[in-house]
Chains A and B, each alone.
Chain A
Amino acid sequence: MTATTAAQGDRSVALAGVAGHDAAASRSGRRRRDNLVGWGFVAPFLVFFVLFLIWPILFGIYLSFTDQSLAGTGGNLVGFANYAEALSDPIMWRSFGNTVWFTVVSTVPLVLIALIMALLVDQGLPGQWLWRLSFFMPFLLASTVASQIWVWIYNPQLGIANAVIGALGMEPVAWLQDADTALYAIIVQTVWWTIGFNFLLYLAALQNIPPQHYEAASIDGAGKWRQLWSITLPQLGPTTVLIVILQILASLKLFDQVYQMLGGVSSPTTRSVVLYIFESGFTGYRFGYSAAISYVFFAIIIIISVAQYPITRRRRAS
């Protein structure tokens, strides 16, 4: 890319020379014009980028060192008080624990079932259109819609979930109202709602495996299962790493489903970090404190994102 633009630059300099200009003067003039054109192209994006991303990040750091409230009072610098409070706040730790647990428990089926779906669909069985529609469609739903459908399914008296387990001879469960089952009920909904994305990535990866691999293996007498273990799954390695990382980053941001399915009521067993950030800021009115928790959360996201880099790079290299 740099090479092409450099070549392009050379050619225009040559053209300028042909036209009989003083080379040095035209070069510095040209550079000034290049800068102007370049920044001109970037400017529209840059304005929004600075206003709605860079500035809020910096301003949020400042807020996290103040006792600013949503009501407009406060705003005094309080040093590290918010961070100190956050790190000794049992509710914050509990919400981190819930979030991590949610991430662990949801990631396993979200990766495994997606893999099984993709492997089966890739067999070329009839009904391709229907399979893709069924597995991918929920991913396109707004979180509210996905939540409403499942609140209805989980309804203790009228829901189909209790009808199903009732038919199997089990006692009805208050899925979302019961503190012990609520998070798991939300995990099931999340798997249903978001698996389509992972399914899609796996399917794309499967279709990129060169068919020659399979031809060679079958000439060597390798059966179906053997091919799965020694060709397909190893070839999917990098994709799996990618999916797991994207999934962890997405699951840690849990908010919509919990807020929506529990009707905005949070309990110690279901409160996620982002929900706690929201609550401290918008129902507790403590913007400064809420900002501090945001940055603790952000730090964790950065650590995971940076830590995955060498892993994915090694996978890519091998």
Chain B
Amino acid sequence: MTTLVGSDLDAAERDVEPTKAPRRGSSHRPGEKPFGVGRIIAFAVLALLALGWLLPFLWAVDTAFKTETDAASAPSWIPSEGFTTQAFEAILSQGNVPTWAFNSLITSVAITLITLVISSLAAYAFSRLEFAGRRWLFVLIIASIIVPPQVLMIPLYYEMLTFRMVDTYWGLILPQVVIPAMVFILKKFFDNVPIELEEAARMDGANRLRVFWSVVLPLSRPILASVAIFVFITAWNNFLWPFLVINDTSLMTLPIGLQTVISAYGVQYAQLMAQAVLAALPLVVVFLIFQRQVIKGVATSGFGGQ
């Protein structure tokens, strides 16, 4: 069979240059014709699925570039009045979208930074330091991964009322920095950082904080990037908590602001879609630039985060 020859060649090639084919969406498997009927069918199914998944996006973008009159007439990809950026201009000049985007950015960056600092410090302690109560405290933190944020909404809101943090940046930011899963992920990474480097620094008289800062953190850049990307995306998109704790329009984040607009505008579909497109844009751009890191960040950090 011809396939057998093909597979032999494939195997031979792998033997000669094992590093040449990093299995990214793996190349041909042995026993497979490069252009068989199977691959054509696979391609067709894949293309159909991708089209189905892209269509909602494309339709939203298409609508966003229409006039309101065209958006409010029978569905058509090509508008009779032509494409226009009117909807975007209207939103950016009169709406609250720039304010909300600013709030989203400030709070998401703050949440990401605070989460990184407090989680990595704690994770380092659990990985490297001996102290009384370490074991049970770690078990408690791991066990709390199970707690759904939805269960906390009533007591946490009540607490915010008591602290007078409703309708403040702090009320928005602080409850979102506690992500026990991140402590777990970082600890697992620190466990595998070779201890010899730290010992050398300790011999030179560096204290723990110094070792952590100038030896451990630089070695942990990949995992810190993963955690940061994941936390940032989660914070940027979070709905439930900001929705509860913020009523003041000028303090809303993008997801919350957009929700209020649905009921306010009612029928201005082009503007609605333009807002959706604008809100999605930053993450689309981040994804296009850092595709690999984003995928890794979500895959390694996503488990506990949901």
Contact = CB atoms under 8 A, between A and B. Distances in A.
Contacts of A151: 262
Interface string A130-146: 11111111111111110
Interface string B110-144: 00001001110110111111111110010001001
Interface string A216-241: 01110011100100000000000000
Given A41-B129, A197-B298, A56 B159 contact: yes
B156 A52 contact: yes
Contacts of A44: 117-118, 121-122
Interface residues of B, number: 113
A1 B259 CA distance: 48
A60 B195 contact: no
A137 B50 contact: no
Contacts of A290: 154
Q: Is the interface of B mostly helix, strand, loop or mixed?
A: helix
Given A120-B42, A197-B298, A144 B258 contact: yes
A149 B23 contact: no
Contacts of A264: 263
Nearest to A193: B56
A26 interface: no
B129 A56 contact: no
A158 B269 contact: yes
A38 B129 contact: yes
B302 to A, nearest CB: 6
Contacts of A80: none
A141 B158 CA distance: 29
B273 A149 contact: yes
Interface in B229-256: 233, 236-237, 239-240, 244, 254-256
Interface stretch (A17-25, A89-97, A179-187, A275-283): A275-283
Interface in A132-188: 132-145, 148-153, 155, 158-160, 163
Contacts of B38: 224
A152 B127 contact: no
B129 A57 contact: no
Contact of A117 (B49, B63, B279): B49
B258 A48 contact: no
A250 B303 CA distance: 10
Contact of B255 (A54, A113, A145): A145
A83 B103 CA distance: 39
16 contacts: A9-B130, A35-B131, A37-B208, A39-B125, A46-B137, A54-B144, A122-B25, A122-B26, A125-B39, A127-B46, A137-B287, A140-B287, A144-B239, A148-B258, A281-B153, A294-B154
Given A57-B147, A124-B26, A152-B60, 4 more contacts: A5-B129, A8-B195, A201-B299, A282-B157
Interface of A: 1, 4-5, 8-9, 11-12, 34-35, 37-39, 41-42, 44-46, 48-49, 51-57, 59-60, 63, 68, 113, 116-117, 120-145, 148-153, 155, 158-160, 163, 192, 197, 200-201, 203-204, 206-207, 211, 214-215, 217-219, 222-224, 227, 246, 249-250, 253, 255-256, 260, 263-264, 274, 277-278, 281-282, 287, 290-291, 294-295, 297-298, 301-302, 305
